[in-house]
Amino acid sequence: MPSKTANPSARRTELLEAAYQYALRHGLADLSLRPLAEAIGSSTRVLMFLFGNKDGLVRALLERARTEELALMARLSQPERPVGLTTAAQQVWAWLAVDEHRPLLRLWAEAYARSLVDPDGPWAGFARSTVEDWLDVLAGCQLRAEREAGEGVVRRTLTLAVLRGALLDLLATGDEKRVTGAVHQQLALLRGAEGTGD
């Protein structure tokens, strides 16, 4: 079946968005085409035609989720006028901590974990590409001298680890005040280690 993604139809775009909203509410682990189709006013036959199969739909949903991540990254990464690693991390955390973003972030966490335990499924490569996306955007926030130094790679890796670990804690507990306090303390230590580089 030819790919529908190069020039998607209006109906495909509409159903993908409706399916994405459904996935934000229900997750992907137990996704079944029949109840999904009923919930979004379509049919399994139409979904199969537009997305090929369930795996194709899941891949499209993961790509749709990634567009939201990339939109945030585009606002942060300005290599010509870098804001600095800790400033960028503070902005990222402020976005991650907002209640209304929890459904998207739960979907991200689910897909991340599934890509680790089911590397041949529709989730294949999701975790790795997410890590690479975020390391790229954090690099774009660093001053050039830091960005190109070996220590710069270490520092953005550490920053990403702090953000990802705190996010998982927040999703598990909902304790935004405690987790945000820990993030701010760690970012202050990172800023101190930067000296005048940030």
Domains of the chain: which residue ranges?
10-194
Could you give the angle at the alpha carbon of 50 between the alpha carbons of 104 and 52, nearest 5°?
Answer: 90
User: Helix, strand, or coil here: 44?
Assistant: helix
**pLDDT the model gives residue 198:** 42
Residue-wise pLDDT tens digits, 62-115: 888 888 777 877 776 666 777 888 998 999 999 999 999 899 899 999 999 999
pTM of the model: 0.80
- 93 and 163 in contact (C-beta within 8 Å)? yes
CATH superfamily of 10-194: Tetracycline Repressor, domain 2 (1.10.357.10)
Residue 70: name the closest of 144, 28, 132, 156 by CA: 132
From CA 134, how far away is CA 49, in angstroms rounded? 34
State how far the alpha carbon of 150 is from the alpha carbons of 12, 78, 84, 95, 194, in Å: 45, 20, 16, 28, 14
Residue-wise pLDDT tens digits, 36-52: 999 999 999 999 999 99
From CA 108, how far away is CA 170, in angstroms rounded? 13
